[in-house]
Amino acid sequence: MALADTPQQRLADMRAPSPWLARLKPIGLALIVPGLLLIFWHVATARRWTRLIPTPYETAEYMVDFVFGGIYNDAFSATAHIHLLASMSRVYGGFGLAMLAALPLGLLIGRIPLARLTLDPFFQLMRPIPVTAWLPLSMILFGLGARSAFALVFLGAFFPILLNTIFGVKNVDPKLFEAASMLGCKGNAQFFRVVLPAALPSIFTGLRLGLGLAWFVIVVGEMTGVPQGLGAVIMDGRTLSRTELVICGMIIIGVAGFISDRIVVAIGNRLLRWSPNHHG
C-alpha cells in the first residue's frame, strides 16, 4: 500500500517546474543573445550610426521576398530555395567525401605507428594552409564553377575530421585493451570492439567541426563564378551594394549550419548513449 505524500513532498512537487517550462527554458536562454543583438541593430539603424546597414524590418521584409516573392519581384525574389539547395549539394557532397577520406586515414594513422610516422608529418604541414589560399589553385585545377567550390569544401572539412579521429584513436585508454584481452577479445577484434567505440566521441567532435567549416567555406567556394548558391548571392549583393541581400544570405547560412549541426549531434547522442561523458 502506497504511503500518502507528506506535506514536504507536496511542497516540493509544487515547486518543481512543469515539463513545458523545463523544455522552454533552454529555448528562452538561447534567444537572449540574438534578442540583444536585434535590439542593438535596431537602435544603431534608428539613430543613423550607419547608413549602409538596413533596419531589421527592412531586412525581414526582403527575407520574405527572397523566400516567397511578391514584394519586390526582382531577380532574387522567391529564389532562396534554389540557392540553398545548390549550396547544400556542395556542402554535403564535399563533407561526405571528406568524411570518407579522413575517417580511414585517421584510424590508420592513429592505430599504426608506421603510418603515423609516414603520413602525419605531411598532413601537419598541409593543415595550417588556409582554405582561401587554395582558391587560386583550385580555380586552375578545376576551373570556374561548382567543382572548384566542391574541392574547397572538401579541404575545409577534411582536416578537422582527420585530426580528431587521430586524437581519439591515439588516446584510447590502455586499460581497455587489457580488459578486452582478459575477456577473450584479441587481435583485429579489438579494433571494432575497443578502438572504434572509444574513439567515437572524438570522431563526432571532428564531424561537427568539419561540417561547420564546410558551411563556412562555401561562401569562399562560391566566389569562383557559380551562378547559384548562397555564397554567390552574398557576392552579388556586395557587387550591387544590396546589403539586405548579403544579410539574408548570411542568416540562411547560419540557420542551415545550425540545423546541420543539430542533426550530427542527434546522431551522435543516439550512437553514444552508452557514454556518460557525451552529450550535445
242: helix, coil or strand?
coil
Q: What is the pLDDT of residues 198-210, one digit of tens each?
A: 888 899 999 999 9
Residue 63 CB contacts under 8 Å (≥ 6 apart), including other chains:
248, 251
pTM higher than 0.75: yes
Is-contact 234 251, C-beta < 8 A? Answer: no
Compute the distance between CA of residue 198 and CA of residue 205 in angstroms, rounded to an integer: 13
- Which carries the bigger pLDDT value, residue 111 or residue 2? 111
The pLDDT, as a whole number, for residue 277 is 58
Query: Which residue has 539613430 as its cell numbers?
Result: 47
Triad 225, 230, 232: Cα angle to 5°: 20
Q: What is the pLDDT of residues 32-59, one digit of tens each?
A: 998 999 999 999 988 888 888 999 999 9
The pLDDT, as a whole number, for residue 184 is 66
Q: What is the mean pLDDT of the chain?
A: 85
Residue 80 CB contacts under 8 Å (≥ 6 apart), including other chains:
66, 67, 248, 252
Judged against a pLDDT cut of 60, whether residue 279 lies above it is answered with: no
Q: Which domains does the chain have, with CATH numbers?
A: 80-271 (1.10.3720.10)
The pLDDT, as a whole number, for residue 188 is 67
Q: What is the pLDDT of residues 151-196, one digit of tens each?
A: 999 999 999 999 999 998 888 777 766 676 666 666 666 667 777 7
Q: What is the pLDDT of residues 53-105, one digit of tens each?
A: 999 999 999 999 999 998 888 889 999 999 999 999 999 999 999 999 999 99
